[in-house]
Amino acid sequence: MPPILVCEFFVMAAPLISPSILSADFARLGDEVRAIDAAGADWIHVDVMDGHFVPNITIGPGVVKALRPHSAKPFDVHLMIAPIDPYLEAFAAAGADIITVHPEAGPHIHRTVQAIRTLGKKAGVALNPGTPAKTLDYLIDEIDLVLVMSVNPGFGGQSFITSQLRKIEAVRKMIDKTGNPIHLEVDGGIDVVTARQCSDAGADVLVAGTATFKGGPSCYAANIAALKGTD
């Protein structure tokens, strides 16, 4: 009897989608959060900007607290503020599940990561386009998420910076070497095309604002499915 040949195929899991509420209708944020939750969002991405660390001003912990009852999904809070440390406790208390910070936003990034974990939250580190992957060399074992920014932070609707694909690949190798369940997230210029490029490079979480919220609530489920590649 001839041997039975078994073919194994590697199937990449669909990425998690974390819609950025920066692109939502701010006049009805609670409704928008409920709508993307129902449409299949995995996380809720909250961009916090201070007009100092980045050239825009968005929201504070009070808005995060007000939105918390509208979804049980993880709140993925990206703090683009400096100094960073005085605000960690407020965002943790407001309902953030993941708190992501920039190395440039405080004098001691390792201490900041420790503080986030002491508050009982998952800690993320964000890398701007000009911030090298090697910044993570002495942090990678202490964090739960790496956020690669594929645009310069501050505004939604920017174009994807293709050089960041190499950084995503480099960070994926670093994560895999640790053997730890660290998420690799990408934020900036994510659409159906760049979503696939980022996933192929090793990302498992994608932040999408414009691509999620375009067309209004009736389109959210189809938008999210398209980003996941499951439409």
- Residue 40 assigned to a binding site: no
From 50, 115, 114, select the one nearest 78 (Cα to Cα): 50
Cα 79–83–159 angle (5° rounding)?
A: 40
| 192: phi then psi, degrees, rounded to nearest 5 | -60, -40
Q: How far is residue 52's CA from residue 56's CA, in Å, rounded to a whole number?
A: 8
Residue 45 assigned as binding residue: yes
Residue 144 among the catalytic residues: no
User: Does the annotation flag 157 for ligand binding?
Assistant: yes
78 annotated ligand-binding residue = yes
Q: Which of 42, 50, 187, 204 is catalytic?
A: 187
Torsion sign (Cα): 137, 138, 142, 146: negative
Closest CA to 84 of 115, 63, 58, 118: 115
Q: Which two tokens stand for residue 11?
A: 């199937």
47 is catalytic: yes
> Does the annotation place 187 within a ligand binding site?
yes
Q: Is 9 annotated as a binding residue?
A: no
How far apart are the C-alpha atoms of 193 and 207, rounded to whole Å? Answer: 14
Q: Which of 47, 50, 76, 144 is catalytic?
A: 47
Cα separation, 141 vs 55, in Å, equals: 31
- 154 assigned ligand-binding residue: yes
Q: Is 106 annotated as a binding residue?
A: no
Does 26 belong to an annotated binding site? no
| Known binding residues | 20, 45, 47, 78, 154-157, 187-189, 209-210
| Known binding residues for substrate | 20, 78, 154-157, 187-189, 209-210
| Known binding residues for a divalent metal cation | 45, 47, 78, 187
Residues designated as active site: 47, 187
